[in-house]
């Protein structure tokens, strides 16, 4: 994208300064082209024309994105943050460096992702074509990628072992792609995305689908199986019949031993047993 301004002045230098003021840039940041040289008036009274200069600035999508990001960081109270531009295929990476800027990352990179989205809009507006902008701080992106790869492989192995699906937390498209790529390296596992907009997340499961859950029974929880007979244990033994005396049909049952009643203790004196005992005065 090229921004330009055309201005006039008594001299080429004055015309150039006027055009730069219109663009809001310094003269050393712009290029210029002389369209007309100034001519002097005849006898100082007739004719003559001012100088005419075209000043222009060639702005790349990455530079426009970096400039916009710099303005945001200034409003966040971080005017000293340095931005390094690294050109990539169909895009660029903006690496930030400075003191006490870790909070820009936010919770799991949410703030960094928001800044990346906004600067990406600016970059794509320059040439009206796709241009990917990536913002990084302290190699955070690479560390986050390694963490997601380990997570994807771990959940994939768990899905194969248990035969059940597992849903991950919502992620942006870039992080979901990392998970999908990691799951593809685990034989027998697959992954797909579910949900809409901010709730879009990855689901990981066995390649053959979920196994049916095993049927549960109530054994061991105090309930007997249907039509099962009660168990006879030590406390559930039936009473034994009394032994018979003699043998044959005329045998008579043995006499049942009656329990011996103990004699109650004698009451000696006038005080009742277990009664109240009054203290003598």
**Average pLDDT over the chain, rounded to an integer:** 80
Which two three-digit tokens encode residue 243? 């032994």
Report d(CA 134, CA 116) in Å as an integer: 6
Q: Which two tokens stand for residue 46?
A: 């007739």
Q: In the block, which residue shows the tokens 């998970």?
A: 179
Q: What counts of helices (H) and strands (E) characterise the chain?
A: 5, 11
What's the rounded mean pLDDT across residues 110-128? Answer: 87
- How much is the pTM? 0.54
pLDDT value, residue 82? 92
What is the average per-residue pLDDT within 11-40?
86
Q: What is the gyration radius of the CA atoms in the chain, in angstroms?
A: 47
Report the distance separating Cα 232 and Cα 226, nearest Å.
17
DSSP H stretches of helix in 84-139 = 110-127
Largest CA distance in the chain: 170
Which of 253 and 4 is assigned the larger pLDDT? 4
Number of other CB atoms surrounding residue 136 within 10 Å: 19
A 10 A CB-CB count for 61 gives 23
Tell me what pLDDT residue 235 has.
Answer: 53
What pLDDT digit, counting tens, does each position of 126-184 carry? 767 788 999 999 889 999 999 999 999 999 999 999 999 999 999 988 899 999 999 99
DSSP conformational letter for 207: T
Determine the average pLDDT of the residues in 204-220. Answer: 76
Task: Using alpha carbons, list the distances in angstroms from residue 54 to 34, 173, 189, 259.
Answer: 6, 44, 62, 130
Q: Is pLDDT of 185 > 90? A: yes
CB 170 within 8 A of CB 141: no
What percent of the chain is predicted at pLDDT more than 70?
Answer: 73
Q: Phi, psi at residue 96, to the nearest 5°?
A: -100, 140
Q: Which residue has the higher pLDDT, 242 or 47?
A: 47
Do 39 and 48 meet the contact criterion of CB atoms below 8 Å apart? yes
Residue 44 has pLDDT above 70, yes or no: no
CATH numbers and ranges of domains, the chain: 2-58 (no CATH), 61-138 (3.30.300.20), 142-206 (3.30.1370.50)
pLDDT class of 25 with cuts at 50, 70, 90: confident
Mean pLDDT lowest among 25-39, 86-100, 180-194, 255-269: 255-269
């Amino acid at each position: 994208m090229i921004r330009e301004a055309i201005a006039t002045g008594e001299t080429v230098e004055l015309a150039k300064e006027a055009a730069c003021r219109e663009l809001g840039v310094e003269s050393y940041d712009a290029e210029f082209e002389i369209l007309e040289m100034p001519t002097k008036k005849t006898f100082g009274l007739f004719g003559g024309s001012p100088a005419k200069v075209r000043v222009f600035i060639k702005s790349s999508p990455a530079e426009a994105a970096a400039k916009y990001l710099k303005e945001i960081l200034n409003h966040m109270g971080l005017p000293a943050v340095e931005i390094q531009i690294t050109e990539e295929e169909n895009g660029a990476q903006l690496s930030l460096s400075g003191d006490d800027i870790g909070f820009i990352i936010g919770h799991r990179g949410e703030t960094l992702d928001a800044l990346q989205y906004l600067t990406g809009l600016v970059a794509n507006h320059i040439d009206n074509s796709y241009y990917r902008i990536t913002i990084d701080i302290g190699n955070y992106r690479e560390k986050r990628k390694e963490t997601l790869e380990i997570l994807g492989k771990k959940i994939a192995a768990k899905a194969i072992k248990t035969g059940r699906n597992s849903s991950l937390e919502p992620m942006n498209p870039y992080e979901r792609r990392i998970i999908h790529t990691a799951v593809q390296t685990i034989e027998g596992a697959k992954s797909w995305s579910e949900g809409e907009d901010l709730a879009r997340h990855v689901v990981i499961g066995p390649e053959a689908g979920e196994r049916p859950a095993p049927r549960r029974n109530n054994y061991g929880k105090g309930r007997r199986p249907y039509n099962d007979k009660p168990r006879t244990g030590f406390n559930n033994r039936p009473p034994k019949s009394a032994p018979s005396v003699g043998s044959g049909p005329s045998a008579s049952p043995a006499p049942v031993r009656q329990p011996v009643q103990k004699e109650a203790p004698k009451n000696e004196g006038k005080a009742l047993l277990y009664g109240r005992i009054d203290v003598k005065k």
